[in-house]
Chains A and B, each alone.
Chain A
Amino acid sequence: MIRIRNLHKSLNGQAVLQGIDLEIHDGETLAILGKSGSGKTVLLKHIVGLLKPDRGSIWVDDREVPKLRRSELFRLRRKFGYVFQASALFDSLTVYENLALALRDRGYPETEIEEKIHQILELMGLQGNEEKYPSELSGGMQKRVSVARALITDPKYLLYDEPTAGLDPVTAETINDLMLSLKSRFRVTAVLVTHDLRCALRVADRIALLSGGKIRIVVPAEETLKIKDPELQEFFRSLEFRA
């Protein structure tokens, strides 16, 4: 379980998060919806200890993330998989090496690594791309490799940062399908930050709206369309426009 209490963070003198309170329950997928620049990625980076809060705190499995020593933080991070907005694949490594990196570091035998990579590439529909470099892949394929890299270590928590951003609608739907199938297959606890309401509605169990540095609303996904909130209405309009 992930608990966030009264989280404040300013970057370059600008208050980005102004008292976030949020709980993410085991096994659920929570989508954090917000406009660009609302602090969604900043919030996500606090959960994995990439950023330290100015005030407030985050607990993951009852361990207070900002207070962990570097070695303890690395141990905790083994529970996480993280899909970056821009994929963040290692551009000097092949797809195979990108996927093998964390496993090798954790001392897995090569035969097991090969087997795991074969399985995950099949799941992602990426067979035959093992020896390609990230620059030789399309945006959608890079995103799928990024998801594969996050999943290959069997994480307890999976964090998606704008998984459909910059993708065409068809590829975005493929990624949504992929997240849905992973959700039913692995039952990981997932946090999805996005400004794409369609993506959030399809994948999430609950949706939280981040606005003005605070979580304004947290609702079950199926009730989202009934909520009369002016900011949510803006997202609905974008949905109508796209439809």
Chain B
Amino acid sequence: MIEAFFYHVGAMTILGGQLLRSLRELHKIPRLFLQQLDRIGVGSIPLVALTSAFTGMVASVQTAYQVRDYVPLDFLGAGVAKAIMIELGPVLTALVVAGRVGAGIAAELGTMRVTEQIDALEIMAIDPVRYLVLPRVLAGILALPLLTVLAEVVAILGAAFVSATVLNVSYATFFHGIQLFFLPRDLFGGLAKSVVFGFLITFLGCHFGYTSGRGASGVGRATTYAVVFSSLFVLMFDYILGTLLFG
């Protein structure tokens, strides 16, 4: 266990160093970057939108239930929107993407490792870190904030819909509440978190795929680790960044 911990810390440090060095050849990856942006970003839109709609709806119901005895529901929009921008939007988007994208990256790179395709890249003098890891990590860093914005918009619309139809808080009142207490820092703080989450998910997916063990079981383990550890790291960094940004 301790040995595995140090092995992964060491391997991640080396991969991180190689990733930084590969930035020098950024000009060679625009096509690969766009491909990954499509897979990670565009491909995640339906799942993120659906998850966010229900998250916004349930957030509205739950907030109303918790505060209705001592806060007028005119402020429901403010409370829900803040929770969505600061916490729910970035974190839930990250967890959904970790499950979908982190696992996919680890499985893809793991299979490439097992079938010697990564060795083939090495021998063809194509740096596998630049070819495989860099486009994915950069696409993750860009896609996550964009997906988070989408998630927040959909979640707020979902919350407004439930407020108007179930809780008798009109759309105008709901959005007026958001306007009253809106702080740019809430939005940008949440987006800053999602940039870090985008890096964590794609980097950990790449790391576990890149260091995958032999055979189908090795790839399976890599995929599981990628999802488990990226979810764990998202929650850990959510606390750390939340404290730094909003504490």
Residues of chain A touching chain B, judged by Cβ–Cβ distance below 8 Å, are: 45, 48, 50, 70, 74-75, 77-78, 80, 82, 84, 86, 88-91, 101-102, 105-106, 149, 153
CB distance A88 to B124 under 8 Å? no
| CB-nearest residue of chain A to B31 | A104
Identify 24 residue pairs between A and B in the complex whose beta-carbon atoms are under 8 Å apart, listed by A's number: A45-B119, A48-B122, A50-B123, A70-B18, A75-B125, A77-B123, A77-B124, A78-B125, A80-B123, A82-B123, A84-B119, A84-B120, A88-B115, A88-B117, A88-B119, A88-B120, A89-B120, A101-B126, A102-B125, A105-B28, A105-B124, A105-B126, A106-B125, A149-B124
A84 CB, min distance to chain B CBs, angstroms: 5
A92 CB, min distance to chain B CBs, angstroms: 8
A19 to B18, CA, bound (A): 32
Among A50, A70, A91, A101, point to the contact of B124 (Cβ < 8 A). A101
For A84, what are the chain B residues with a Cβ–Cβ distance below 8 Å?
A: 116, 119-120
A157 CB, min distance to chain B CBs, angstroms: 11
For A149, what are the chain B residues with a Cβ–Cβ distance below 8 Å?
A: 124
Q: How many residues of B contact A (CB 8 A)?
A: 15
CB distance A90 to B125 under 8 Å? no
CB distance B125 to A77 under 8 Å? yes
CB distance B122 to A77 under 8 Å? yes
For A74, what are the chain B residues with a Cβ–Cβ distance below 8 Å?
A: 125, 127
CB distance B115 to A50 under 8 Å? no
A51 CB, min distance to chain B CBs, angstroms: 10
For B119, what are the chain A residues with a Cβ–Cβ distance below 8 Å?
A: 45, 50, 84, 88
A231 CB, min distance to chain B CBs, angstroms: 28
| CB-nearest residue of chain A to B127 | A74
A101 to B31, CA, bound (A): 13
A24 to B119, CA, bound (A): 23
A105 to B107, CA, bound (A): 25
For A80, what are the chain B residues with a Cβ–Cβ distance below 8 Å?
A: 123
B48 CB, min distance to chain A CBs, angstroms: 24
- Excluding A90-B120, A91-B115, 18 further A-B contacts by CB distance (< 8 Å) are A48-B122, A48-B123, A50-B119, A70-B127, A74-B127, A77-B125, A80-B123, A84-B119, A84-B120, A88-B117, A89-B117, A89-B120, A91-B117, A101-B126, A102-B126, A105-B28, A105-B125, A105-B126
CB distance A102 to B115 under 8 Å? no
For A91, what are the chain B residues with a Cβ–Cβ distance below 8 Å?
A: 115, 117
CB distance A82 to B120 under 8 Å? yes
| CB-nearest residue of chain B to A103 | B124
Counting from the closest, the 7 A-B pairs by CB-CB distance are A88-B116, A77-B125, A88-B120, A102-B124, A82-B123, A74-B125, A78-B125
Q: Would you list which residues of chain B between 152 and 200 have a CB under 8 Å from chain A?
A: none
A151 CB, min distance to chain B CBs, angstroms: 12
CB distance B124 to A153 under 8 Å? yes
For A48, what are the chain B residues with a Cβ–Cβ distance below 8 Å?
A: 122-123
For B28, what are the chain A residues with a Cβ–Cβ distance below 8 Å?
A: 105
A174 to B66, CA, bound (A): 76
B215 CB, min distance to chain A CBs, angstroms: 13
Q: Would you list which residues of chain B between 69 and 127 have a CB under 8 Å from chain A?
A: 112, 115-117, 119-120, 122-127
A61 CB, min distance to chain B CBs, angstroms: 15
A45 to B116, CA, bound (A): 12
| CB-nearest residue of chain A to B28 | A105
| CB-nearest residue of chain B to A152 | B124
For A45, what are the chain B residues with a Cβ–Cβ distance below 8 Å?
A: 119
Q: Would you list which residues of chain B between 1 and 60 have a CB under 8 Å from chain A?
A: 18, 28
Of B119, B122, B127, B131, most A-chain CB atoms within 10 Å: B122
For A153, what are the chain B residues with a Cβ–Cβ distance below 8 Å?
A: 124
For B123, what are the chain A residues with a Cβ–Cβ distance below 8 Å?
A: 48, 50, 77, 80, 82
For B116, what are the chain A residues with a Cβ–Cβ distance below 8 Å?
A: 84, 86, 88
CB distance B115 to A86 under 8 Å? yes
For B120, what are the chain A residues with a Cβ–Cβ distance below 8 Å?
A: 82, 84, 88-90
For A90, what are the chain B residues with a Cβ–Cβ distance below 8 Å?
A: 112, 117, 120
A237 CB, min distance to chain B CBs, angstroms: 32
